[in-house]
Amino acid sequence: MAGRNHLYIPGPTNSPHEVLSAMHLPMEDHRAPTFPLLLKPILEDLKKVFRTETGQAFVFPATGTAGWEIALTNTLSPGDKVLIYRFGQFSHLWMNMAQRLGLDVEMHEVQWGKGIPLDDMEARLKEDTAHEIKAVLATHNETATGVTSDISGVRKAMDAAKHPALLFVDGVSSIASLDYRMDEWGIDASISGSQKGFMLPAGLAILAFSQKALACLDSAKFPRCFLDLKDQMNSNKDGYTPYTPSTPMLHGLRASLDILLEEGMENVYARHHRLAEGTRRAVTAWGLKLCAQPGFESDTVSAIVVPEDKDARDVIAKAFNKYDISLGGGLSEVMGKVFRIGHIGDMNDVSMLGAIAGVEMALLDCGIDIVPGSGVAAAIEYYRATVTA
């Protein structure tokens, strides 16, 4: 039936048609002498997105979940202590992975809706005078709660504690969307995936490692092959890969990088902030609240709390079944309590207004008492006041 699905989940995000068309091409010989002309510039340009000059970028034919594992298994060894703060489903999953891999995980619970508590972390790091903590695992943007942690602050806390631990950042739903500065913030592993800010289908783990992290490759004792970083490095240095890459995905990434870098990363961040802020104005106009506490609001996804007597799953189901809108659900602890609107990727004002208007219908259909049009009105005011084109 005519009428497209409107995709407002925080990933996979909408793909620009230029990206999809760039991926639609015949297969190629990945061992041809021309292949490095594709791969090498991609790896260089990725550094501009990660904002690192000293680090090195990598692309694996896998997903962000694999990215987490790559960071852990290529630099650490079973039994190594890692510090992680859990404040949502994705920080939980990363922690869980670390445990399953046999790391010694020191996990601190944080209220879902807040990000990493910087003072707390600084204090904990100062206590660790023996430097037993080998790595800090920080979730930059917790997709489940719509919370952004202050990674610059994490670095400051580590510096204040003079702690030498590696800093690994899950930037799956932040990199290429939110302000992210690998070198400036002293990040040792930056982990992302193709299906968020890069606006591609899932299927690539996109990473960058600092020289400090790369120096750990030889000592890391986890068994690994498919996700081995040294194999990638050995092949990448000549412009090749250790096993067959997805050439369409690389062409798509090329197109994505062209779009991002032409817009300019600062503009990309500003666009995401503006789209998010309009959404937040709508939420306030509805009389609802974000899951994110003040100061932690994410510019890539808003998790919106429904009234206590309502189930957010109904909102999502009505949006999907009646209006062909895909919203993000609440995961784990916040299941049924929140629904999520992604404002990440190939979006602009009218995309967001469609989401907001559509959500108004679903909220009303669920008997949630909002003033029809109020969210749209609030977002309109904001977008009009801040539009630059």
- As measured in angstroms, the least distance from the Cβ of 65 to a copy of itself is 4
- How many CB atoms neighbour CB 318 within 10 A? 19
C-beta closer to a copy of itself: residue 121 or 325: 325
Query: Of all helices (H) and strands (E), which one includes residue 238?
Result: none
173 CB-near residues (< 8 Å, 6+ apart): 10, 11, 90, 140, 141, 143, 196, 197, 298, 300, 301, 344
Between residues 158 and 304, which has the closer beta carbon with respect to a copy of itself?
Answer: 304
Task: Figure out which of the listed residues 20, 233, 270, 335 binds a copy of itself, where binding follows CB under 8 A.
Answer: 20
Site for a copy of itself contains 353 (CB under 8 A): yes
Annotate 213-234 with DSSP letters as a single string: HHTTTTT-----STT-HHHHHH
In Å, the largest CA–CA distance within the chain is 64
Backbone φ and ψ for 171, nearest 5 degrees, come out as -110, 25
| The one among 9, 82, 147, 207 contacting a copy of itself by CB under 8 A | 9
208 touching a copy of itself, by CB under 8 A: no
Give the distance from CA 73 to its chain's centroid: 20
Site size toward a copy of itself, by CB under 8 A: 113
Q: Binding segment for a copy of itself among 45-53, 115-123, 128-136, 349-357 (CB under 8 A)?
A: 349-357
Query: Segment near a copy of itself (CB under 8 A), from 120-128, 206-214, 291-299, 377-385?
Result: 377-385
Residue type, 271: R
For the CB of residue 309, give the shortest distance to a copy of itself in the complex, in Å: 20
Residue list 229-248, contact with a copy of itself (CB under 8 A): 242-248
Quick note: the x/- pattern for a copy of itself over 313-332, rule CB under 8 A, is ----x--xxxxxxx-xx---
Options 29-37, 146-154, 178-186, 299-307: segment touching a copy of itself (CB under 8 A)? 29-37
C-alpha to C-alpha distance for 329 and 332, rounded to whole angstroms: 10
Residue 126 to residues 10, 71, 119, 159, 164: CA-CA distances in angstroms? 36, 24, 11, 10, 11
Asked if 287 interacts with a copy of itself (CB under 8 A), we say no
Residues 6+ apart with CB under 8 A from 340: 9, 10, 143, 144, 146, 301, 302, 303, 304, 327, 328, 329, 330
Residues 6+ apart with CB under 8 A from 384: none
User: Which of 294, 309, 369, 389 is the binder for a copy of itself (CB under 8 A)?
Assistant: 389
CB of 389 to a copy of itself, least distance (A): 5
The only residue of 76, 151, 347, 368 in contact with a copy of itself, by rule CB under 8 A: 347
On whether 51 is known to bind a ligand per the annotation, the reply is: no
Q: Is residue 354 within the footprint of a copy of itself (CB under 8 A)?
A: yes
Q: Give the nearer residue to a copy of itself in terms of CB position, either 161 or 257.
A: 257
* Residue placing its CB nearer to a copy of itself in the complex, 42 or 317: 317
What sign does the CA torsion over 245, 169, 94, 220 have? positive
Which residues within the stretch 116-145 sit at the binding site for a copy of itself (CB under 8 A)?
none
Q: Which positions from 53 through 92 interact with a copy of itself, judged by CB under 8 A?
A: 61-66, 68-69, 73, 78
Q: Which is nearer to a copy of itself, 27 or 130 (CB)?
A: 27
User: Taking the complex as a whole, how short is the minimal distance between the CB of residue 129 and a copy of itself, in angstroms?
Assistant: 29
Contact, 11 vs 342, CB < 8 A?
yes
Tokens of 199: 């606006």
- What distance, in Å, lies between the first and last C-alpha atoms of the chain? 35
37 binds a copy of itself (CB under 8 A): no
Q: Is 266 in the site for a copy of itself (CB under 8 A)?
A: no
Residue 24 within binding range of a copy of itself, rule CB under 8 A: yes
Amino acid at 200: L
- Known binding site for substrate: residues? 340
- Known binding site: residues? 340
